[in-house]
Structure 1
């Protein structure tokens, strides 16, 4: 079957090790379901995998991808939840399982014609949600949903700053925050990205690192090193940073003096549970909210999508169709 995969990592030149070609089809396994993939979306996690971050050489070759929507063996339209518990008998929040993995870390991923997943990891796709839209939900949109509605503890009318205006998580945060009644501010590196964020529903957009007209109640942080200091300085006393990633690096200054003196909260957030994904799908179904898709490409042209993400030329999600 056709797949996008990696056989050996390259920390400095990830695109050089991306392969798009034939891989073995998954073999049936008790308690698991084979999904015929119709669409799968790209995440920064996939670039990290090419670099070997969280994916050691001994697990390769590995099909990339965490997100997918498609059909199960009975022809039902389904969405794939990316989090796979690793502790036998684990119950409760699967993101807290110390042995949990995402698809494409231990088990083969979704950038393929078929993917094998635990039966509990498939849930029904609403008919009015396209396969491409549904494929955007399990990672970026679920991450944003958990950050805003599970971790942040916000009330409608409060002000939220989103660092980085154009990525998959950022565009999801803007759209979800607008529906929830938050005042959404964003930062972006270019006028084009800031204008796109405003068109998506952001209330104001600023240059990266700009002095804001006022302090905010919460910052949604996925950028890391490049924006961390600005995030801390932008908060009201008692405010909260919710962080779910660091695409520019993991070693920012902690700004601990500001954290303790202004009694800030720093909360980590990772992905989301199957139940939260169900809630997100229902929210989209009842409100008409849909993911912002930057571009749809055939899986055979996966390299073009990876290049687009690596160069930062995104305005929403990159989706591969099968």
Structure 2
């Protein structure tokens, strides 16, 4: 690509926000300062996910000051995944970046990431955390286990510690937008669509301000959605468990009948029988729960409800 075309390039940065009144201005000033020497024009696409603080007003003020700042304000909280999808829809740059507003995603990596994509060597350059310093040990352990097991049960490759922070070509973004599913798991979608991707590792960082809205339980729910979206192995597992339990019950029945015929006595062991019943009942309830989660996903998809509803857009 010649120098003139590079100067006319537009990099659209998609930034989902939710109650981030303390971080938006810091993020904007930091990125503006770091990208000031880049030949590429930077456009911002903030997506407010139903904030209840001053976030919408701050976005309106920024957009009034700078024509390169755009925003979408949701009618209510639809979740970060909906925010990502809405931002990717609005972004019209030659290249598109996804970033968190809390500066846990190092903005100083943007020039390197963009250059690697613009060179044509890669369709996307993503980032991954090299460590989990500052994160609760239990939360870190569950995160590590999630990546270990999701890669065992899914055909889609998940990179341990991968962030949503990445720079992508227009072609890759268009491919992502064709996946209009309601139950979204972007880390899986980014990988599923393919395209040549490079990952840059960086040391974990604390938020620049404010507090995260991601609790342990919301992350656990998000992980379950990822498993349901990209693997049917849990259904296979409960099928095998059900088959094993059935065969075990047949063997147990044969044993009981043979023992009664040989020793001519009634069957003893009520406590053990109750334990077995509770065990089988627990397996059945667990199996129904797993099946029910997949059915729930089908139910939500068949409704064909929009991923988000925009109240205001600029």
Common topology (TM > 0.5): no
Task: Select the structure with the greater relative contact order (CA < 8 A; seq sep ≥ 6).
Answer: 2
Name the one with the larger helix percent. Answer: 2
* Greater C-alpha radius of gyration: 2
Pairwise TM-score range, normalised by the shorter structure:
under 0.3
| TM-score, scaled to structure 2 | 0.26
